[in-house]
Structures are given as C-alpha cells and as structure tokens.
Amino acid sequence: MKLRHRLLLSLLVVATIGSLVAGAGAYWVVGNAVRTHYTARLRDEAALLGDRLQELRAEGRRSPRALQPIIESWGARLEARVSLIDAQGVVLADSRMGLEGLPLLENHAGRPEVIAALATGWGEAHRLSASTGESYFYLARLVSEPAPPVILRLALPERAVTLARLEYLGSSVGLFFVSLLAFTLLAYLGIRRLSRPVEKLADAAERIARGEKPAPLPATTADEVGRLADAVGRLRDALAARRSEMHRRQDLFDSVIGGVREGVLVIDARRRVRLVNATAQTICTVGEQPAGRLFTEVVRHPDLVEMIEQALERGEESRRSLRSLGATASCYEVTCLPLRRNGSRKAIGVVALLFDTTRLEALEATRQRFIGDLSHELKTPLTSIRAAATTLLEGAMNDPQAARRFLETIERHAERMADLVSDLSDLSRIETGAITLELETVDAAALAEEVATSLLPRYQDKELELQLDFDGPLEVQADRRRLEQVLVNLLDNAMKFNRQGGRVRIAGGRREGRVTITIEDTGLGIAAEDLGRVFQRFFRADPSRSQEKGSTGLGLAIVRHLIKLHGGSVEVDSELGQGSTFTVTLWPGVSGPTVAKADHAG
C-alpha cells in the first residue's frame, strides 16, 4: 500500500472515530435536551390546563360525563394523554379510554407522579404505563380548588422523544457523510501533494538499487523531503561512479581472462565454481552456465578433482601433467594454486590453471621423429660409403675395375647426402621465414616446358612420352628460381617413378581467376591411405624403390612450403599402380608479403 493511502486511511480512521464519539455525545445531549424540553412543555401545559379546570369546576362541571369531552379535546390538541384523577386514585376522565373504558382502569393512587402531586402539588415520572403498555413521561398537578381536590395528569409517549432523536440522528449522519467526503477529498489532495516527492524518491531509490537510470529527482526544498532528495541524489551519483568503475574493471578483467589462451577455473571454499573462462569451458566440456555449480559436476577428470581437493584441504600448491580432461585426447600441464586471506594458511578457494601442452608434445614428437628419420636417411649412405672404403683399403684398390665400382658407389651416396643436406637447408630456411621472394612476372607455361625439356634426357632410357597442353602464356607473379625449384621437384618425381614407356603430361590454364598447372604421370601411384602424408618430410610411397632412385623424401615438403609462400596451394590425386596427378594453383597477382613463414610440415 502506498504511503499516501496509508496516511489517508489513518486520517479517515481518526476522523471517523472522532465523529462517532462526538455524535454519540451529541445524541445523548440531544436526548436529554428533548426530554427537558418536553418536561417543561408538559409543566406549562399542566399549569394552563389546571387553571382552566378550576374555572370549569367552579362553573359546576365536575362530573366525569361533563369533563370527559373536555379532557379528550385537550389530549387531541396537545397530542398527549390527559387524565383526571381524584384524591383516592380513581380515574375520573381519560383522553385515550373514553367513558366506557374508565371502569376498566386500575386505581392510580399508587402511581409515583400521583403520590408526589398529592404531597407537593407537582409530580413527575418516567415509566411504563400499566394500562396501555407504552413508556410515557408523566407530569401531575394537584388542583385543590374548588374542593374536593383532583389531580390533572399529562402523559407524553416516549416515542416522541425517540422520533426527535432519530430525526437529529438522520440529519447528523447525512452531515457526517458529506463532511467525511469533503474531508477525504481535501485530505487526499493534501497528502498527495506531500507524498508525491517521497514516492518519487522511493521510485528513484528502487531504480538505483536495480542498477537502472532513475527519473529526475524532485526539486530540492528546505524541509526534510528536500534533504532526503539531496542525499538520494548524492548517493545516485556516487553509485553511478562506482558502478561505472566496477564495469570498467569487470570489462578489463573479462577481457584479460577471456583472452588468456590457458584455461582458468576458480573454485570457492564451498567447492562451487566461481569463475571459468571460455578456454577452460571448452577443455572441460562443461556446457553453459557452469558458475555456481559444484566443481565435481564441471570437472570430470579424477586426477584434477584430487588436485583441487588437496589444494582446498591442505592449502598446498600442486602441479601435474594430465591427459584427456575433456572430449579430446589433449595433454595439459595443470597447476592448482590455493587462495588465502590475510596470510591465513586455510584456503578460501583454488585457482586451477590449465596449460595445453599438446602442441609442445607434438613438436617434441616431430623433432624426435625427424631426428630418427634423418638418422635413418644418413645411416644408409654412410654404411655404403664405409663398406666401400673398407673394401678398397683391404685391397680392392689394386683391382682397377673393382676400385672404380666402389668409388662410384662412394660418389653416388655422397651426392645423395649432399642433396639431403641441401634440401634440409632449404626446408629450414623456408620454415624459419629466412627466404625472400623476389617477385616478378613469370610465364609459368614456358618455365614448365623448359624444366621438363631439361630433365627428360636424364631418363631417356625409360623412353617416356612428354605431353605439353597449355592454353597459352600463363603469367604469374612469382619468384622465378623458387617456382623453377617447385617444377623441378614435381617433374623429376613424375619421371623418376614412372614406368618404362610411360607418359608425363603437363597442362595449364586459368580457372576462376587463378592459374593452375597440372603434372600427370603414369607411374607407381600412391595408396589412398598415404595421400594425407604425401607432403610430410621423409615420406616415401615405396621406401625401397625411393632409396634406390636416390630420393631424399623432402622434395614434396619443399614444394608445399614454397607454394604456400606464394599464396597458392598444391593438391594430389593418385591411384596405386595407375599414376599420380599434382595440381598447383597460383594467384596471378601478389598474394602475400615478400617475406613470409611457412607452416611446419606434418
């Protein structure tokens, strides 16, 4: 209920109670006044009628038959009951009973008003009439002249007084309701004028508490409401400034926590999640709205649950490597730090930091695999060189033909090792971004034809068929030397691993605004399960035959990195035993910076 309604209700209750008390008092006073008025009236009437009765009796009208009509006329004129009683209490005449009813009336000698009149000349009483059963006000006067004395009694029904009271009460009730309505209207207008500023202040305070912008405060006055409005205004400004600062800090905190690549999980002393950033949410696959839930509902890895429990119970920092925290088989370095207050050893919470070490482990695995592959690649030629040298030292050098054969073996494997070192050097420079592309306009079709023509004599014993299928010049912005290196690697593989009498087809054209170069062969082909690893370092579709043909296993990795540096792509399509097709796509314009880093190969 609003303040104005409570104030109005209180005033109405007070006004109503006051009016009822005043009305009751007035009703009692009016009743006494009416009773006094009627008593005085009866006394005056009795005095006049008593004098008239003396005259009538003096004229000889003393019998009941002579006086009855007179008594009845007096009763009708006065609207009262008039009785004439002798000193013995016998009713001689009565305005209500008539002559025939007089014998039926009781003797009135014992009536209090009659007794008092006989004793003092006047008598009054308020009682129930035994003859009529009504309540009356009685006034009796002793008329002693002429003898014998008689008593003139006037009786007024009490209902006359009651009717007068009710008439006053009706007028008073009507006036009360009219006054109450006027009072209510005036009180409401006054209370509304006084309470409106307070209600505005209450509304403003509620909006401030909800964090909303409040409506304008009422004009400041010198009274208590004005002081309250001024205080609320200062409170509003202070809260707005503090809320703005809190929002700024919260935004900064959210930006920092949200930008952290590591997972952050904060648990309070009640073991409920207080904070979890997006990274931790993804790692633990907790779904939406994890805040407020028990951390055991969010963290499902038993080792991480154990670490958090230990940090909460013992207040000790712990660190451990864990795998498969969520739906993936990733590896994480987890650190649980207990939170303390004011130097207390008891932990009030725990911060769990989840560092994803999957990439580091993958890099370490790649490094170890690379060292193993490199060791294997070096071991074979070194073993052959060592064996040939040992054989020569043991006397084979004395045999010119044998010596030449072993020296050719040493030379062949030395060249292979030199090629391997050269390719490793190129790959390292490409991966570290140390290569600068000297871009120029290059006719890719002419360059491909030139490279193919120069390589074909090496494999003339295979009697390969070379097909060139170009729509015309294919101009691209590229580093000529690096593009030539790409074509050499692709065409050399196409010829080296081709079958006897096979075919090598080079095609080119434009498609969707880009330049495509396709190199197709009819060689060994690549198994479907190996296509995803073609561009990895040291990959060979047929390791035994590749080693025989002097392949380092790095050529396609170099091709992939160089094409990516040019902003292009290279794809392979192959069927085992049917041949392979490599498609190089380049943009005709400059698609990247002059110096760029290539991704690490598989």
> Could you tell me which residues come within 8 angstroms of residue 568 by beta carbon, excluding any fewer than 6 positions away?
514, 584, 585, 586, 587, 591
* DSSP helix/strand/coil, 14: helix
Residue 222 has pLDDT above 70, yes or no: no
Percent residues over pLDDT 70 in the chain: 85
- In 3D space, the residue among 328, 274, 260, 273 whose CA is nearest the CA of residue 305 turns out to be 273
- Given a contact cutoff of 8 angstroms between Cβ atoms, the answer to whether 524 and 539 are in contact is no
pLDDT recorded at residue 551: 55
- Given a contact cutoff of 8 angstroms between Cβ atoms, the answer to whether 75 and 95 are in contact is yes
Q: Report the range of poorest mean pLDDT among 88-97, 364-373, 474-483, 512-521.
A: 364-373
Mean pLDDT computed over 235-241:
80
* Structure token digits, residue 192: 């509304």
Whole-model pTM: value is 0.43
**What distances in angstroms separate CA 342 from CA 114, 259, 315, one per listed residue?**
105, 29, 14
Mean pLDDT computed over 301-321:
86
Angle in degrees, 0-180, between the axes of helices 358-393 and 400-431, rounded to the nearest 10: 160
CATH homologous superfamily of 433-586 equals: Histidine kinase-like ATPase, C-terminal domain (3.30.565.10)
Q: What is the pLDDT of residues 521-542, one digit of tens each?
A: 999 888 888 887 888 776 665 5
> How many CB atoms are located within 10 Å of the residue 435 CB?
20
Q: How far apart are CA 418 and CA 109, in angstroms?
A: 164
Fold match flag (3-164 vs 260-356): yes
Q: How far apart are CA 176 and CA 20, in angstroms?
A: 9
Mean pLDDT computed over 18-26:
73
Residue 140 has pLDDT above 80, yes or no: yes
pLDDT band at 506 (very low <50, low <70, confident <90, very high): very high
pLDDT recorded at residue 423: 67
Residue type, 18: G
Mean pLDDT computed over 8-31:
74
Residue scoring higher pLDDT (292 or 73): 73
Of 63-67, 186-190, 255-259, 267-271, the range with the highest mean pLDDT is 267-271
320: left (phi over 0), alpha (psi -120 to 50) or beta: beta
* DSSP helix/strand/coil, 356: strand
Fold category of 3-164 in CATH:
Beta-Lactamase (3.30.450)
- In 3D space, the residue among 581, 560, 563, 564 whose CA is nearest the CA of residue 572 turns out to be 581
Residues 516, 517, 523, 529: is their CA dihedral positive or negative? negative
* DSSP helix/strand/coil, 354: strand
Q: Could you tell me which CATH number the domain at 365-429 has?
A: 1.10.287.130
Q: How far apart are CA 566 and CA 558, in angstroms?
A: 13
* Phi, psi torsion values for 320, nearest 5 degrees: -160, 150
> Could you tell me which residues come within 8 angstroms of residue 179 by beta carbon, excluding any fewer than 6 positions away?
19
pLDDT recorded at residue 373: 65
Residue type, 106: E
- In 3D space, the residue among 528, 519, 527 whose CA is nearest the CA of residue 492 turns out to be 519
Q: Which residue has the tokens 């209450």?
A: 202
Mean pLDDT computed over 197-205:
75
**What distances in angstroms separate CA 49 from CA 125, 154, 286, 433, 522, one per listed residue?**
19, 10, 113, 144, 159
DSSP string, 139-152: EEEEE-SSSSPEEE
Mean pLDDT computed over 9-37:
74
* Structure token digits, residue 438: 């000297």
Q: What is the pLDDT of residues 558-587, one digit of tens each?
A: 888 888 888 899 999 988 888 999 999 997
- Given a contact cutoff of 8 angstroms between Cβ atoms, the answer to whether 264 and 279 are in contact is yes
pLDDT band at 58 (very low <50, low <70, confident <90, very high): confident
Q: Report the range of poorest mean pLDDT among 36-45, 165-174, 447-456, 494-503.
A: 165-174
With b meaning 16 or more CB within 10 Å and e meaning fewer, what string describes 564-578? Answer: bbbbbebebebeeee
Q: How far apart are CA 105 and CA 66, in angstroms?
A: 19
Residue scoring higher pLDDT (68 or 228): 68
Q: How far apart are CA 121 and CA 270, in angstroms?
A: 102
pLDDT recorded at residue 598: 43
Residue 186 has pLDDT above 90, yes or no: no
* DSSP helix/strand/coil, 550: coil
Q: Which residue has the tokens 């007068």?
A: 164
pLDDT recorded at residue 131: 66
* DSSP helix/strand/coil, 87: coil
Mean pLDDT computed over 181-198:
78
- In 3D space, the residue among 384, 358, 331, 367 whose CA is nearest the CA of residue 547 turns out to be 384
According to the CATH classification, is domain 260-356 in 3.30.450.20?
A: yes
pLDDT recorded at residue 190: 79
Residue 475 has pLDDT above 70, yes or no: yes
pLDDT band at 362 (very low <50, low <70, confident <90, very high): confident
Q: How far apart are CA 596 and CA 346, in angstroms?
A: 53
Please state the separation of Cα 175 from the chain's center in Å: 58
Q: Where are the chain's structural domains?
A: 3-164, 260-356, 365-429, 433-586
Burial of residue 248 (CB within 10 Å: 0-12, 13-18, 19+) is: exposed
Mean pLDDT computed over 416-440:
74
Mean pLDDT computed over 499-507:
93
Residue type, 10: S
- Given a contact cutoff of 8 angstroms between Cβ atoms, the answer to whether 553 and 377 are in contact is yes
pLDDT recorded at residue 504: 94
Mean pLDDT computed over 107-112:
87
Average pLDDT, the chain: 80
Residue 194 has pLDDT above 90, yes or no: no
Residue type, 217: L
Q: How far apart are CA 213 and CA 242, in angstroms?
A: 14
pLDDT band at 327 (very low <50, low <70, confident <90, very high): low
Query: Percentage helix, strand, coil, to 5, in the chain?
Result: 55, 20, 25
Q: How far apart are CA 556 and CA 318, in angstroms?
A: 46
pLDDT recorded at residue 43: 82
Peptide bond into 148 cis (omega under 30): yes
Mean pLDDT computed over 430-437:
74
* DSSP helix/strand/coil, 242: helix
Percent residues over pLDDT 90 in the chain: 8
pLDDT band at 27 (very low <50, low <70, confident <90, very high): low
- Given a contact cutoff of 8 angstroms between Cβ atoms, the answer to whether 596 and 431 are in contact is no
